[in-house]
Structure 1
Amino acid sequence: MSSSFVDALASAQAQLYRYGGTFLIVAGDLGGIFNLIMFLQPSLRWNPCSAYFLAYAGSNLIYINFSMILTSLREGFHVDPSVQSLGFCRLRVYMYYVFTVLPTTLLIMVTIDRTFISLLTYRNIREMNRHIMPVVNEQPTSVEHRMKVKDQQLIVMLLSQVLVTIVCIIPFTGYRMYSQITQNQPKAAVRQSIESFVQASSVFVNYIPACINFYVYTWTTRTFRNQVKRVLIKLFQC
């Protein structure tokens, strides 16, 4: 019974990366390429926040096509190119840690940037209101209104991605904590298999934010969605 259960877990783990991993890699590559195209468009490029999104998209593409592909090959197809070369093994470890940390760091940086600028703007407006007489019936121009709307929607995109990242990193963080707490405990074969499956699953979930951010942006914000439509129309008209 325990042997068949262990085999079933090993098979499920392989299937997860063989099919789920392949799907995420393809979806992530397509979405990442579209992200680069979108944030290079003049309508989005003007915002300082877009530079972070552009760097975030680029680092995620490298993360997907290096770390995730190698992990999927190892877990799903039992192929590990790093065992053939010590140099490649070291490069894999280095790239894994750099591009695991870099996208999250960029996300933190853009969050701090948006928060700081928003607070600074609010403070400046309050200071101006204390010294300047209000102008009756003053209305913002259409250009100012569009810029404000786009800025707000970029913030919505940011918050949505932060939420997705937090949700997806919780299983991996929880497993790492459990692993550290129980590392010196004796474990039966079944327990080791369960832990291996949970670890592989948590790593898989941890890859999801890098692969779906384009779809999160498209779903959550009208500005980004409309820009995607315009780009697709141009592509099909060529």
Structure 2
Amino acid sequence: MNSTTITLTVYLANIQIQIIRYLLTITLIIGNLSNFTNILIFSQHSLRSHICSWYFIGSSIGHLLYLNMGCLTRVIWAWTHVLVLFNIRHTGHHQIAPTTLIDLNHEIRYRRRRLRKKDIQYIKLSLIQVAAYIVFNTLHGYNTIHEVITQNQIKTPEQRAIEGFLSGTGLNLHYVYTGITFFLYTLASETFRQACILFWKRLLKHLLHLMFFRSNHQTTVQIA
């Protein structure tokens, strides 16, 4: 192995370490917060009645496990100056008055419109998730296919270094995808944004209530 090969290998390895240290560290922190928030939002009464909410809850739980079992390990390795390049291969009828019928029909149409609107929002969320998955996992999929096709070929050290770098980059992008779903949902769905705002308002109100109650309690104790 000549000096040029060694220089290229070390250069790509250092870039990979820096990407893992900073990009994946941020992804790990934001991903845990955002996926946990997803679970809380989709668990709200206004959303959890829809079957798709349970899919998004399950997806967020899976992302949390994946981040903390895979991404966390890579971050620890990078911060301890250990670079590990690896690949993961991954699959009775009664008469009703006319006015009552009118009111009933109006109510049915109103509920149907609400359901259609909510269904459209969930479809948008699903399509956005699928599109983001394809974008962030294309390189990882390409690397996996390329590795299978060329596994019996003799490769130069430069080729192995480049392939290892691309493989690591593809895996890093896959972890980034699992950490940004909250932002995708927020941008794509008005229903999710409204539920998110309502959730944070309730949480803030609850925290302020606890702080006010504790302050009053301490004042009462001091007076007594």
TM over 0.5: yes
Q: Does 1:68 align with 2:54?
A: no
C-alpha distance in 1, partners of 2:11/2:54? 46
Q: Secondary structure at the match of 1:175?
A: helix
Q: Does 1:21 align with 2:36?
A: no
Deviation digits for residues 170-213 of structure 1 (CA, Å, limit 9, x no counterpart): 11111111112222222222221111111100111122221111
2:138 is aligned, of 170, 175, 178, to 170
Match of 2:164 in 1: 196
Q: Bigger radius of gyration, 1 or 2?
A: 2
C-alpha distance in 1, partners of 2:79/2:132? 25
Q: Does 1:44 align with 2:12?
A: no
1:141-160 mapped onto 2 (5 Å cutoff): 141-160=109-128
C-alpha distance in 1, partners of 2:78/2:143? 18
Deviation digits for residues 48-79 of structure 1 (CA, Å, limit 9, x no counterpart): 11111111111111111112111332345345
C-alpha distance in 1, partners of 2:184/2:111? 26
* 2:24–2:175 CA contact under 8 A, matched in 1: no
2:10 is aligned, of 7, 11, 31, to 7
**Structure 2, unaligned runs of 5 or more:** 92-101, 208-224
C-alpha distance in 1, partners of 2:78/2:150? 23
Q: Does 1:182 align with 2:150?
A: yes
C-alpha distance in 2, partners of 1:216/1:60? 14
Percent identical residues = 28
1:5-154 mapped onto 2 (5 Å cutoff): 5-75=8-78, 77-78=80-81, 101=91, 141-154=109-122
RMSD over aligned Cα, in angstroms? 2.4
- Given the two structures, how large is their TM-score scaled by the length of structure 2? 0.75
The residue type paired with residue 152 of structure 1 is I
